[in-house]
């Protein structure tokens, strides 16, 4: 291995032996316990995505899948590159803080760093805010492998790069098909499948406004609803008596002459129309037959 990488390994292991014993114990625990914490965060991200849209659920499920694929890729590369562990290969280095892995468990790339990077990136894609926690966790995991003396610096660097690339590819390529599968699972008749997929956005909290406040629901008014002024129909106006124009029909089928008023204030009919007892003879020169008989 290169002299620069070996020298950096010696410097880091020498720094590790100079740290307090409690910090050494913490790094020894973190190098293994960190993987368990990533698993817990996977479960939390999936549970959170159950109330999200189908794509969010798909990404939350693809995140651990991408991490597993990255681990498999790391093992394939490790089996093809027989690089001895630095705790046995680097001369003049201080002893590792943990037991050096057995012969045949090769060094390049670091499986722990690969898994940590794949998990950190997958979780950040599924839950953006959690990326502020998972990315530093992955970097600390990678550093701890060199700190305890079981990996070269380039081993963990390659592992971080491999885990990141594989996680991005798996989530990017499987996001859209996974969303369709998640949507189908939410409509499944199987109760376990529906529970795994979650209720989706229908059961989530009400949508927030652009200012981040939840819309308030007004209490019902005790007064009857009144239509808006512009929606009200105009009140019926009283029709004024109009004087018919020549040729306009009046009740009874009669055609009035010009100047005749509407019913209720009619003038005497035109010549030839029968007169009522209170009206004058229809035309000059004609005597009323009843009056003539009375005079006789």
**Is residue 168 very low, low, confident or very high in pLDDT (cuts 50, 70, 90)?**
very high
Alpha helix segments (H runs only) across the chain: 3-18, 21-49, 54-80, 86-89, 111-126, 131-147, 153-186, 191-197, 289-295
Q: What's the rounded Cα separation, in Å, for the pair 200 and 192? A: 15
Element (H, E) at 162: helix 153-186
Condensed to tens digits (0 to 9), the pLDDT of residues 105-115 reads 788 889 999 99
DSSP 279: S
Q: What's the rounded Cα separation, in Å, for the pair 176 and 44? A: 22
**Is residue 244 very low, low, confident or very high in pLDDT (cuts 50, 70, 90)?**
low
Of residues 284, 238, 288, 275, the one with CA closest to residue 266: 275
Q: 49-63, 194-208, 277-291 — which is least confidently predicted?
A: 277-291
Question: Distance from first CA to last CA of the chain, Å, rounded?
Answer: 157
Q: What's the rounded Cα separation, in Å, for the pair 90 and 169? A: 35
pLDDT at residue 117 greater than cutoff 50: yes
**Is residue 221 very low, low, confident or very high in pLDDT (cuts 50, 70, 90)?**
low
**Is residue 204 very low, low, confident or very high in pLDDT (cuts 50, 70, 90)?**
very low
Task: Report, in angstroms and rounded to the nearest whole number, the Rg of the chain calculated over CA atoms.
Answer: 48
Residue written as tokens 């468990």? 105
**Is residue 288 very low, low, confident or very high in pLDDT (cuts 50, 70, 90)?**
low
pLDDT at residue 210 greater than cutoff 50: no
Cα-to-chain-centroid distance, residue 194: 19
Q: What's the rounded Cα separation, in Å, for the pair 117 and 203? A: 33
CB count within 10 Å of CB 139 equals: 16
Q: What's the rounded Cα separation, in Å, for the pair 91 and 151? A: 14
**Comparing 102 with 207, which gets the higher pLDDT?**
102
Q: For residue 268, give Cα distances in angstroms to 157, 260, 262, 278.
A: 118, 8, 12, 10
Residue written as tokens 């705790």? 87
Residue pair 148/98 in contact by the 8 Å Cβ criterion: yes
Of residues 7, 34, 206, the one with CA closest to residue 111: 34
Question: What pLDDT does residue 227 have?
Answer: 60
Element (H, E) at 125: helix 111-126
């Amino acid at each position: 291995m290169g002299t620069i990488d070996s020298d950096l390994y010696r410097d880091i292991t020498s720094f590790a032996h100079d740290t307090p014993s409690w910090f050494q114990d913490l790094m020894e625990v973190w190098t293994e316990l960190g993987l368990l914490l990533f698993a817990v965060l996977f479960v939390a991200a999936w549970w959170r995505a159950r109330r999200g849209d189908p794509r969010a659920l798909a990404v939350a499920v693809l995140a651990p899948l991408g991490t597993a694929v990255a681990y498999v890729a790391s093992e394939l590369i490790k089996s093809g590159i027989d690089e001895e562990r630095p705790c046995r290969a680097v001369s003049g280095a201080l002893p590792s803080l943990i037991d050096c892995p057995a012969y045949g468990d090769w060094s390049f790339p670091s499986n722990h760093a690969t898994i940590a990077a794949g998990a950190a990136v997958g979780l950040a894609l599924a839950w953006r805010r959690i990326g502020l926690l998972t990315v530093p966790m992955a970097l600390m995991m990678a550093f701890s492998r060199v700190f305890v003396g079981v990996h070269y610096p380039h081993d963990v660097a390659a592992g971080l790069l491999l885990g990141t690339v594989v996680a991005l590819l798996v989530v990017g390529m499987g996001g859209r098909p996974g969303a369709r599968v998640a949507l189908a699972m939410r409509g499944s008749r199987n109760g376990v499948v529906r529970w795994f997929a979650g209720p989706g956005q229908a059961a989530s909290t009400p949508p927030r406004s652009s200012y981040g406040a939840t819309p308030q629901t007004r209490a019902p008014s005790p007064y009857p609803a009144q239509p808006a002024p512009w929606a009200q129909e105009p009140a019926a106006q009283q029709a004024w008596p109009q004087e018919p124009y020549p040729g306009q029909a009046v009740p009874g089928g009669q055609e009035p002459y010009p100047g005749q008023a509407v019913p209720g204030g009619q003038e005497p009919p035109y010549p030839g129309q029968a007169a009522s007892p209170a009206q004058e003879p229809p035309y000059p020169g004609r005597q009323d037959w009843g009056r003539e008989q009375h005079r006789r």
